Structure 1
């Protein structure tokens, strides 16, 4: 015969309840080698132990929740009433438990940006960013990215070796972004170094973040006085009426989120093509495209594997866990993409062309820069495969190392071998105008590759057009 709880038992809150914090399951560190070496294994273990929401530690003494479930992540991102983007609600710093030099500060500190606001103010700022990005001419962006990629490849030495992370993926986006934002070209290498420090949560992250913003403060001041045909000027001129401070912080968002994501997406796609014989064979046979590879990477190894965050506005329950007001919840993008609920036991097959992943987030805060990012990465990969058709990995795939970041999914290096260059494609003649002057959009075909990467080209089609700006910058960047 079963009996009900004793009076003493009835007074005890269930484990995990905000009133019973002592019984909360032990937290798992979301930092250190395990995040880099085997994140998929880590997420699977957390799911098995705790379900779709797991208790984690972001650094010693700083707890949070990692949302692993696909349905739970959708609920988290769509319910602003319960889960706010405003990090000022976080109880850890309010309780004095976040060190002034914490490596988490650059990724969690509140700023007046679309990333940290809800409701009408978020919509105002999002409109400014989205409208500004929509002014990019996709045809010109593709041409500019291809020219920058060709210039980088041309700058490599004659020994038939390269590191596709250090010499290509990490340099190409900022070659494009510096011109896109109106920054001096020579600031590119320094910006890469600064961004790496605070995305990797290194010991230099706080100082790097301050120096990075100082560069952008100067850029905003210059563009306020002398507008040009660039994203910075368009953002300042938007009818949303951004202040200088708001503009600087949104340039940080565009550069960090856009640049870091593009770097990692490029590197992870190239890794897939070099290590997955199945995918490389289907690509060469024309059954899959580079765009399909991009989607598969967004499912399996999204460039941002975890993203901070949401903050509970009141005590609630999510995924069977009792969440206290002020708790931080981290979006487990890679883990949610691997949720068995989504794949129905299919083991993650058939991901090519499927864009139901959560790599860009979800809800009102979904990334507004998906289209230009995809165009840059797709062009970068296609150009490289055309120029170096016999590209192969220089080390066994299992020896590739990942950066120790709790946020990014990024390779340390991608060493390759190749035997010869294929000449670059002919540059189409363009009218004399700024590369970012908006032109009428012609629809989705603007971002569609003009030809498959394996299409043969005649010798006459390989005569390069004028690329002196890119060649000189790429050569300087490579130390020539």
Structure 2
């Protein structure tokens, strides 16, 4: 750990100076110019900066590359168990706080340390490792072609609403064992409760019932899908644990893949170094994927860790129960790890986190995004932005780095590599119904299990992650 150096009188900010006040990690600033915000925080406070997550709710934003590695690797000092957080313990977190979805404790690999985390992580990691990459690429390409084929003849499209936001769920529904035809219905259900429409309560109940039906049917009739493999793993998950982790896979995988796809397409369409890629230039789609993970990672900040005792990190005194936010984009921009041109130049970025809780789905996510981008460029070879690049707007989320829209123009329309009649079907046997799910119940909870409030965990989490 680092030890703070005493400031000289000349270096101490005067009373009333903004440096004395925590920066707000919410609102327009973090959406419009996050890189500028992180640079100012680093200059004012060093690698660990005081922030507010909402008015009156303080935390620490870890911006230093080595400090973030220390934070994520030292489980004894920095726990994933949010029940250690002193803000709610002191009654300072509002019942309707937007921080609740991702800070409330749940029995998942996201919220556990030690042996229980290892048990659940092994189940998820080893399950994801069983995914056949050739089959996943084929399924992604087929989903991409289906979406592109459905666009009108006017030569315009919004690559966020009509492509990046729809494609991942079309793939994930098949991955977990729902039939391909269920994809559009699942997308519709999620759109209702994420956007808090008047159908959100019913849509959320139907979605959770679909997942529970899927788990119960796969208990009786396993198939070649993630749900069956998760249930068959020696971790011996309960039905409740399995549903919770399917939600984690769907939310984290879906939102991350959406943002990574959108941000990569934006880079390809706005950066001259990558524009040549559209016509066979030197820099590749793979290069663009890596640069996005360095500069504009799909998740720019992520909560969090909670201090198990008083300690020091990055020159800041951290008190027991303090929350620390992983500043993934900020740490990637740490001058100590950048090349002279300001780019990392390798895959040592922290977009996936680090330590024992590093994202276990990196390879499937990369394959989906790379295939989605390459398929789009093949199908629409003269693709170009419909508006100036500086007019593109970002979602007002301190967590996701996500575009609101990505309007494009095109005239050429290349046929798909694989004709529709020859596209491989990836539909597991005996799929559960998606139209008449059973009542959303669950297996008995353990005493420590969290119980959803009026708005479900999935619903709140999806909205939180996407900045809605």
Structure 1 partner of 2:183: 185
Contact 1:180 1:231 in 2 (8 A): yes
- Number of the residue aligned with 1:227: 222
The structural deviation recorded for 1:286 is 3.9
Q: Structure 1: how far apart are the matches of 2:258 and 2:115?
A: 32
* Aligned pair partner of 2:134 in 120, 139, 155: 139
Are residues 1:349 and 2:343 paired?
yes
8 Å Cα contact 2:278/2:381 also seen in 1:
no
Q: Cα offset for 1:424?
A: 0.5
Aligned to 2:235: 240
Residue 174 of structure 1: which of 162, 169, 177 is its match?
169
The list of structure 1 runs, each at least 4 consecutive aligned residues, that deviate by more than 6 angstroms after superposition, is: 204-211, 428-433
Deviations 1:406-434 (A, max 9, x none): 11000000000000210000359989885
Pairs within 5 Å for 1:361-380: 361-380=353-372
In structure 2, the partner of 1:319 is: 314
Where do residues 154-169 of structure 1 align in structure 2 (5 Å cutoff)?
A: 154-169=149-164
Aligned equivalent of 1:101, options 88, 96, 104: 96
Q: Which has the larger Rg? A: 1
Question: Deviation at 1:60?
Answer: 1.4
- Determine if contact 2:158/2:408 at 8 Å carries over to the other structure: yes
Cα contact 2:274–2:284 (8 A) shared by 1: no
Name 1:116's counterpart in structure 2: 111
Of 70, 77, 84, the residue aligned with 1:75 is 70
Map 1:170-319 onto structure 2 (within 5 A): 170-183=165-178, 184-193=182-191, 196=194, 213=208, 215-281=210-276, 284-319=279-314
Alpha-carbon distance in structure 2 between the residues aligned to 1:341 and 1:85? 27
5+ residue gaps, structure 2: 1-11, 13-18, 430-468
Task: Count matched residues.
Answer: 409
CA contact (8 A) 1:89 1:326 kept: yes
**Aligned-pair distance for 1:224?**
2.7
Would the alpha carbon gap of residues 432 and 173 (structure 1) be closer, same or farther in structure 2, given more than 3 Å must change?
closer
- Identify if the C-alpha distance between structure 1 residues 49 and 369 changes in structure 2 by more than 3 Å, giving closer, same or farther: same
TM-aligned CA deviation for residue 276 of structure 1: 0.3
1:140-198 Cα deviation digits (max 9, x unpaired): 11011001100100000000000000000000000101111123334322354268559
Structure 1 unmatched ranges of 5 or more:
1-14, 16-23, 438-480
Give the whole-Å Cα distance in 1 for the aligned partners of 2:259 and 2:159.
Answer: 11
Shift of 1:215: 4.5
* Contact 1:195/1:256, CA 8 A, preserved across alignment: no
In 2, are the aligned partners of 1:313 and 1:326 still within 8 Å (CA)?
A: yes
The structural deviation recorded for 1:279 is 1.8
| Partner Cα distance (1:374, 1:276) in 2 | 21
**Cα offset, 1:84, TM superposition:** 0.4
- 1:342 aligned counterpart, secondary structure: coil
> Aligned-pair RMSD on alpha carbons?
2.7
In the alignment, the residues of structure 1 paired with residue 296 and residue 202 of structure 2 have an alpha-carbon distance, to the nearest angstrom, of 29
Partner Cα distance (2:272, 2:355) in 1? 36
Q: Does 1:41 align with 2:36?
A: yes
Give 1:383's aligned residue.
375
Instruction: Report SS of the residue matched to 2:336.
Output: helix
**Quick check: 2:82–2:305 contact (8 Å CA) kept in 1?**
yes
Compute the displacement of 1:405 (Å): 1.0
Alignment of 1:85 onto 2:80: yes
Shift of 1:337: 0.3
TM-score (norm. length: structure 1): 0.80
Q: How far apart are residue 26 of structure 1 and its match?
A: 1.5
Structure 2 CA distance for aligned equivalents of residues 211 and 407 of structure 1:
27
Q: Deviations over 1:221-252 (max 9, x none)?
A: 33334433221121111111001121111111
Q: Is the 8 A contact 2:190 2:203 kept in 1?
A: no
CA distance in 1, matches of 2:205, 2:427: 30
State the Cα distance separating 1:28 from its structure 2 match. 1.1
Using the size of structure 2 for normalisation, the TM-score is 0.82
Aligned match of 2:411 = 419
Structure-1 separation of matches of 2:420 and 2:132: 15
Deviation at 1:213, TM superposition (A): 4.5
